[in-house]
Amino acid sequence: MHALSIPTWIIHISSVIEWIAAIWLIWTYGELTNNRSWWALSFAMLPALISAMCACTWHYFDNAESLEWMVTLQATMTLVGNFTLWAAAVLIWRSTKSDKNATKPKPIKSES
């Protein structure tokens, strides 16, 4: 555990806790609004959480060479997470476009 200072550990651990809380809050928002695209966002956040946990685990074991594969896993999960977050953002954007179209008043036809 000598790889990082105490303040850096605090930032790492609090970031992981904050990310878990954000996933839960977004999931809850999806339930309250009954909009499944927000649930997709909470799932899309999981690869980034795995990435953060890989970093913390590797640092916890003093950046051991035997765990070097975790660096590759972290990088891969970051890449996957960026794409899943992008896809979830597109889903949310599309769901707001369809909601706006559904709430538009229909034009009234004149009887002339």
Q: So what's the pLDDT on residue 55?
A: 93
What is this structure's pTM?
0.81
The 10s digit of each residue's pLDDT in 34-53 is 999 999 999 999 999 999 99
The 10s digit of each residue's pLDDT in 85-96 is 999 999 999 998
| DSSP states along 20-84 | HHHHHHHHHHHHHHT-HHHHHHHHHTHHHHHHHHHHHHHHHTTT-GGGTHHHHHHHHHHHHHHHH
pLDDT surpasses 70 at 107: no
pLDDT surpasses 60 at 105: no
